[in-house]
Amino acid sequence: MGLVGLAHATSHFSHLLLAPFFPIFMAEFGLSFSDMGLLMSIFFVVSGSGQALSGFVVDRLGARPVLFGAVGLFLAAALVGSMASGYAGLVVVAILAGAGNAPFHPVDFTILNQRVSAPRLGHAFSVHGLTGNLGWAMAPVFLVGISSFAGWRTAYLAAAGLYLCVLGVLFWQRDKLLTQPVIRLPDAPKGSDVAFLKLPVVWWCFGFFFLSTMTLAVVQSFGPSILKAVHGASLELATLTLTAYMLCGAFGMLVGGFVATQRAQSAQTVAWAMGAGAILLLICATGLLGAVGTMVGLALTGFAVGIGGPSRDMMIKRATPKGATGRVYGTVYAGLDLGFAVSPVLFGAFMDRGMYAATLAGAAIFLLLAVVAAVGVGSRTLAQ
């Protein structure tokens, strides 16, 4: 659990390899919010398309070699970032980091499902989600903190050193990450590898991830900018709010691990948690809470959504046919990458027009739609 959690934290850290420096890049390279949103879209288009394919690779080769290659790509992205001299360099960073991020969910869940006993899986998913949120929380503090006294290029070099350390730990403990490839029988029917794509529940899961991630991408990409524009918060304080959102989400994941092991109706837990998060976001969108109140509201949103995280992963596990873990997780989590790709472009246009309240309200609406998708997953899983 610890090793997979460390790897997952590294993946989430890499989601924010670019976003904390958006204000700096915009000033230094003369870029717009839409330009910044396009960078995130490139990252997640590469990640999403690669994720769907990497699930097949993980099932055939095992998770461990794919994991090592992914962390190596993150290392390369950080090194390129330290040398970027314009928008083209940032695009290369987005492509490398997106390719590195692609295999993580098929890799992680293949390892956990093969090497963790069934009674402990709820806690394993909790650790997985918690460490992912810690990776998100660490990235802005780590990168902006180092940048504040040594410059953003040095911050990227420090990130490269961090990736190298993680790769060393994973290689050192590589025996604990070994998984068995899925053996394809010679007489297997033609097309059996993709038969899972015919299951409606898989596409409901995909839709759930797409919709819920549209919301998360708004908070990650534009939350600090909204706080600066609407409430006059400093960059440091606004970035700290993003960290608070992620830390509260991590604590919610910890609580959610116990909830997931005690409640059989995972989809209902997810629906209640996401619904509470959507209401909090709508309240924040009104602007009536002021700077401090909005920061607290966003942090509580992270906690509410975090509680549903482990139940979400249990929901996906129950919908997964035997022997197709990598392929199913690769496909449904590609919805996450699609949400991250579409949301910054859509809401980046809102931001460029000064529609800050509409951006937060739109994020809340997508989270409410994710509640509908979660209910759909639950009903179809029970029907299988």
**CB contact at 8 A, 10 and 78:** no
Domain ranges of the chain: 2-176+195-383
Whether the pLDDT of residue 383 is over 50: the answer is no
pLDDT of residue 179: 75
Q: In whole angstroms, give the CA distance from residue 312 to residue 113.
A: 15
- Tens digits of residue pLDDT in 243-302: 788 788 878 877 877 776 666 566 777 778 888 888 998 898 888 888 788 888 888 888
Q: Give pTM, 2 decimals.
A: 0.72
Q: What fold characterizes domain 2-176+195-383?
A: Growth Hormone; Chain: A; (1.20.1250)
Token pair recorded at residue 290: 């002021």
Higher pLDDT among residues 322 and 140, named by residue: 140
- Tens digits of residue pLDDT in 25-47: 888 888 887 788 788 888 878 88
Look at residues 1, 126, 137, 8 and name the one whose alpha carbon lies nearest to residue 67. Answer: 8
Residue 74's pLDDT band (cuts 50, 70, 90) = very high
Whether the pLDDT of residue 78 is over 90: the answer is yes
Look at residues 10, 229, 230, 246 and name the one whose alpha carbon lies nearest to residue 108. Answer: 10
Whether the pLDDT of residue 184 is over 70: the answer is no
Whether the pLDDT of residue 384 is over 50: the answer is no
Q: In whole angstroms, give the CA distance from residue 242 to residue 245.
A: 5
| Greatest mean pLDDT range, 119-133, 156-170, 299-313 | 156-170
Look at residues 299, 310, 301, 309 and name the one whose alpha carbon lies nearest to residue 278. Answer: 301
Angular region, 306: left φ>0, alpha ψ -120 to 50, beta rest: alpha
